[in-house]
Structures are given as structure tokens and as C-alpha cells.
Amino acid sequence: MAIIGFINQKGGVGKTTTAVNLAACLAAAQRRVLLVDMDPQSNSTSAVGMDKDGHSIYDVLLGDVPVANAVKPSFAENLSVITSDPNLYGAEIELMDLDEREFKLKRAIEPIRHQFDYVIIDAPPSLGLLTLNVLAAAERLVIPVQCEYYALEGLSMLIQTVERVKGGLNPSLDILGIVMTMYDARLNIARQVVDEVRAHFTGKVFETLIVRSVRLAEAPSHGKPIIFYDFRSTGSQNYISLAQEVIYAVEKAGSR
């Protein structure tokens, strides 16, 4: 099994879209998947049609609720969810005074991790304490990067943060791959950014490009991942392809 964190300190790069749709595609491939929404905006929660009733990851992090009580089945077979809620906005302040606060998520999910083949964790678009919890809990990282001009600069900063975490909080942390999102083949800049990222991070960039798509953008408003909203769409086929790459990287190359 693998615990995979989805991180990028920049918002609007397709992080949540990638976490949700990859989780759905892995579940459709008969893998047992747990999606953990660590973002106070709760976009992963709504993107799979879940409401915010009941226990959330906030309750788990603050130690009020056993993690098993927060796991909820989704409408999709093999896909379970630990939802977020707006209380997470205050969690960073509440966690500050607790011992070993960076490891709250890691320790919380430990009792149930082996019930799943994949634990997919959607981090907030920041490098605060919640994201540090994701970095401490994850074994591997997927980094979504938008095909735009400033992508490489932000990516280099993020990689430095990952290396610092690897040197302290989580020595076994590894980057599974960088996924290029919102790709538009008509734009020279998009092609140039992909080429530059692949040149700088050789062997760490997934072959699959996530193409900018109206149907992909529409799907969250219907509470469905793209494979359930429009299976034949380009976005659906992109994420199916990405899931195949992830399965190969994790299972065929040997997961920890």
C-alpha cells in the first residue's frame, strides 16, 4: 500500500482535481482507496459528493474521535473518504501547543492504513502546519504543476521544502512524480514549461499531461469525479492514464 500526499503551495494548480480524480480512477481499478481531505476549503469533500455532516479530519487531528469513526463510504465502490470542514482553519492554532504536532495525522491514520491499498491526502495550498502533517504522514508525493510561466520557480521552492522535511521529519519521504496540469497544446508557453520541468527533474515527471478541459472543470459542481461525470471526455482518459502510471510506479516498482 502507499500513502500519497498531493501538495503545492500555490492554489489553482489542479491539486485537488488531481487528488480526487486519481483516487476515483484507482478505486475504479479495484484498489481500496481512502481520500483524506486536509484542506479547510473542503473541495475534495464536495468534489466526491460528500456533505460535511458527521466527524471530519478536524475531529481526528484534535484527538476527539478515533479515525475509524471518521471514515465514510462514498457513492463509488472502493472509495472511502475522511471529510474536511471549515474548523480546520483554526486547527493550526490549536495544534501549535500540542506535543509532536507535526505527527498528528501520521499517528491518526496508522490504525487503518492497512485496510487500504492507497491513502490519498489532499493538502492545503500552503506550507503551514497542516501541510507539514501531510508531509510527515506521506510515503510518497505527487506534485501537480500548472503549465504556466512561474511554474518552475514555485516548484523549485517546493522541492527544497520537501528535502528539508526529508532531512528531519520524514526520512523515507519520496517524490512519486510531478504531474503537469491545465495543458493546452496550442500555447507555446505550455509546451516550453513541460520541456523545462522535464529537463530539470529528469525521471520525476509523469508522461501523462492533464489537458485543460471544460468537462473536467464542470465535474466538481456535480459532486462527481470526471470518470463518473463524463467517462469519454479527455479529462477522464487523462486521469485513467495517470492512474495506470501511478499503479505501475507504486506496485510494479515495489511499494514500501
Q: Which amino acid is at 67?
A: V
CA distance 56 to 34: 13
pLDDT tens profile 158-187: 888 899 999 988 999 999 999 999 999 899
Of residues 252 and 7, more confidently modeled: 7
pLDDT of 255 > 50? The answer is no
Q: Mean pLDDT of all residues in the chain?
A: 93
- CATH number, domain containing residue 198: 3.40.50.300
Q: What is the pTM of this model?
A: 0.94
* pLDDT recorded at residue 165: 92
Closest CA to 21 of 225, 248, 243: 225
Show the beta-strand stretches assigned E in the chain: 2-6, 33-37, 72-73, 79-82, 118-122, 140-146, 174-183, 205-211
- Domain ranges, residue 76: 2-252
* pLDDT recorded at residue 254: 63
Total count of domains within the chain: 1
